[in-house]
A and B are shown apart, each in its own frame.
Chain A
């Protein structure tokens, strides 16, 4: 479903990972591990198409990736339901109600998103994934500020997504209790020697 071949990624012009290759099939989850600063986020941003790879290729069906970053993209002045309804409209899907109930947010639907707790905001950010209706989920530390029961809730949502034929690539430090392959990114660390010569950040 998602194929990554010989991928090299850079952050701020410095190559940090190279030679990363893996396949993720439908119904499969891949957990990325590695110490802080090892390049998990950069790898995920590249997978999501937010930045171009230095080398190698990411191949998947067009418009099949949903990305959840560290920040949830929540508008504090909109209600929980309005936030989700906006993303549903952008992605041309319906099913806001299912997403709300999947993350136990139904009771909070009319609450201003700015008045939510950090964990509730996170749940709202993750509920957006359900609303996108896309098969490949790219998740960057999805469990930050979630309590134990919310983590279990989230793991359940992922499992259902996988059974429905979806796939997920998850960077996380905790054990979600999923039957998933684990990929440690540390061995792919790029050598600092191959700095890009045509880098122009100094000018900008």
Chain B
């Protein structure tokens, strides 16, 4: 299992691996927003948590179709299915690899981009925390979508259509935590719900992903 994770990370870091892709996209979106809505600080500060969350979500989406498609194309997915590794573990490891190469860098970069968007000082901790709790769910749900669309040529668009609705609860509660944190309100309920969603999909979706992978490999 560790070998698969290390291989995926190594592949992501090397040329054409797409490691910086999501991060650069996140950066560009966050830089473009002030140009679009104008330099009014109060307005930017109010929309910053939401914009950062939407940016992170879309950046996450960008690299989803690589999770299984590359392995499917070169035949290693078939070989992995024959290997002593259960497909459930493969799905979980793939999601973890995606999170390490996408979700984690996005979480770490978010405070810097918050600066560009005039995020109030009280909001940084909660922004990072909400992303830290929420982005694993994005990766796991995305892995499920990637498993569903593996084998479909140019399945990226279909993947987005399938996955985006599933991202809605995470987005709602994630952005709510960041917003309430920035405004200094109490945030017990949305924080717990966000954590609940993440833990729930982490527990269930690797099994579902493995199931649909098996069906797609037939």
Contact = CB atoms under 8 A, between A and B. Distances in A.
A196 interface: no
A92 B2 CA distance: 11
Contact of A50 (B3, B10, B85, B218): B218
A77 B74 contact: no
B83 A71 contact: no
Interface string B48-78: 0000000000000000000000010111101
Contacts of A51: 217-218
Nearest to B78: A69
Given A50-B218, A91-B84, A73 B16 contact: no
Given A51-B218, A86-B3, A89-B3, A74 B82 contact: no
Interface in A68-123: 69-78, 82, 86-87, 89-92
Interface stretch (A59-67, A143-151, A172-180, A184-192): A59-67
B196 interface: no
B78 A75 contact: no
A67 B82 contact: yes
A48 interface: yes
B87 to A, nearest CB: 11
B47 interface: no
B76 A75 contact: yes
Q: Which of B2, B3, B76 has its CB near the most chain A CB atoms (within 10 A)?
A: B76
Given A50-B218, A66-B82, A128-B79, A78 B15 contact: no
A49 interface: yes
B108 interface: no
Q: Which of A86, A90, A128 has its CB near the most chain B CB atoms (within 10 A)?
A: A90
Interface of B: 2-4, 7, 10-11, 14-17, 71, 73-76, 78-85, 217-218
Closest 6 CB pairs of A and B: A71-B75, A89-B3, A73-B76, A51-B218, A73-B75, A77-B14
Given A49-B82, A77-B16, 5 more contacts: A50-B218, A67-B79, A67-B82, A77-B10, A82-B7
13 contacts: A49-B81, A51-B217, A66-B82, A69-B78, A75-B76, A77-B10, A78-B11, A82-B7, A82-B10, A87-B83, A90-B85, A91-B83, A92-B84
